[in-house]
Amino acid sequence: MFLVQPKIVGREHIPTRGCFIPICNHFSAADYFALASIFDQRLGVVVKDDNHPRMKQLIALLVGSIFIKRRRMGNGPQSVRVDLGAYKAIIRCQKSGRPVLFFLPGTRSTTQQIGRVSPHEARWVANFGIPILPIGISGTWDIERGNRPHLILIEVLKFVLGIRKVTVRIGEPIESLPKGRDQAQTAADMIGWEIAQLVNRGHRGTYEKVKMR
C-alpha cells in the first residue's frame, strides 16, 4: 500500500492490547507513510492548524488528520490554550482502537536534528494518561532532498527500488511521565531523549550528549 517500506526494529514493543500514543521525530513529509505501514490499525496523525494549507488538506484526505488550533495566552513557555475539540477527537480515536501519532517536537526539522520538546507539548500528551510508544525514524530526509519535484521523484524511486532505506526503531513504552506544571520540561526531555536514542547518531540534536538514565 505504501511506497516507503521501512526496516523495522523493535516491533515487539508495540502494545497488542489497550490504547497507546505513538510519538516520533519528524524529518520529512514521508514520515507518516513509513510509520503507517507498520501498524495493523489505521494510524491517525495530529497536525498543527498553522501549517501549510494545501499540505494540510492533502493529508486530511489521505489519513483523516486531527488539526490542532492553538492560541497563545500570555508570554510564558507553557502559555498555550489547548484545543478541546482536537482533544476530544483524539480520545474518540483512542477508544475506537485507532492509534493517533504525535510528531515531537511538533515542527518538522529542517536540519536533520531533533529539537527540544516543549513543556506544553509534553503536558498535552501526558494528560491522556496512557502509555507512550517512542519511535525513531531515520532515512526519510533524503526523499525531500533538493526540495524540487523531479528530485523528490528520483529519491522516492530509490526507496521503491531498495537503493535507499528507511529505518524505524521502536522503543519500549513509557508507562508514565512526571505530572504537574513544574515537571513539564522534565517530562518533555524524557520523551525527547527516548526518541533520540532511536535515531542514527549525528541526528539527535539537543539530546546528543544528554544523559537521562
- Domain membership of residue 213 (yes or no) is no
Domain annotation covers residue 97: yes
Tell me the average pLDDT of the chain.
77
- Residue 152: strand, helix, or coil: helix
In this structure, is residue 206 part of a structural domain? no
Q: 47 has which bridge partners?
A: 67
Q: What pLDDT, in 10s, does the model give residues 65-93?
A: 666 665 544 444 444 455 677 777 777 77
What pLDDT does 1 receive?
A: 45
Q: Is residue 2 part of a domain?
A: no
Our count of domains for the chain comes to 1
Report which of 131, 130, 132 is spatially closest to residue 117, judged by C-alpha positions. 132
* Predicted local distance difference test score (pLDDT) of residue 79: 41
In a domain, 208, yes or no: no
CA–CA distance, 45 with 56 (Å, rounded to integer): 11
Which of 133, 101, 104 lies closest to 118, judged by CA?
104
Per-residue pLDDT of 11-30, as tens digits, reads: 999 988 888 889 999 888 77
In this prediction the pTM is 0.80
pLDDT, position 182: 85
Q: Is 20 within a domain? A: yes
What domain range includes position 154?
7-199
Residue 192: inside a domain? yes
174 pLDDT more than 60: yes
Residue 128's CB is within 10 A of a number of other CB atoms, namely 17
For residue 152, being part of any structural domain is answered with yes
pLDDT digits (tens, 9 = 90+) for 87-143: 777 777 777 777 888 888 877 787 889 988 988 888 878 888 889 999 999 888 766
pLDDT at 198: 95
